[in-house]
Amino acid sequence: MTPTETRLLDLLSQAVRGPRREGLFALWLVCRVAEGVLLEPPVGDRPHRRRVLALEQRLSSLTLPSPLRRALASALTELREPRATAAATALAQLVAPARESAGPEAAQAVAEAAARAKTIAADRL
């Protein structure tokens, strides 16, 4: 488990029921899929497509604040391609909406994941 996943799970366990908690859960799910692309060796194309499809289905049932819902839709579009650059872009797009809907600690965790993804993407070029 990555540091981002651990931090988001800690925040999730402290949150009360409601949109903020569901937002944290959605961020955790997206980080898991995005960081799967960053593994060495990366997840294969077919399993990645299945993970993105399952993520999309799971996110559709959550009650999320509008800015986060829009950002997650954009992130899902990016994540359809199993590339480290796409994962970095998807995570970077979630930082501001995460701050607004889940708090600054969640945004910081996502920003750190985006920075790690950007570094890994640059190393793979």
Block means of pLDDT (10 residues each) for the chain, 125 residues, are 93 93 96 90 87 96 94 95 94 96 95 95 87
| Residue closest to 33 by CA, chosen among 69, 63, 75, 67 | 75
Half-sphere exposure of 13 (CA within 13 A, CB side): 5
The reported pLDDT for the residue numbered 5 is: 93
Q: CB 125: neighbour CB atoms within 10 A?
A: 6
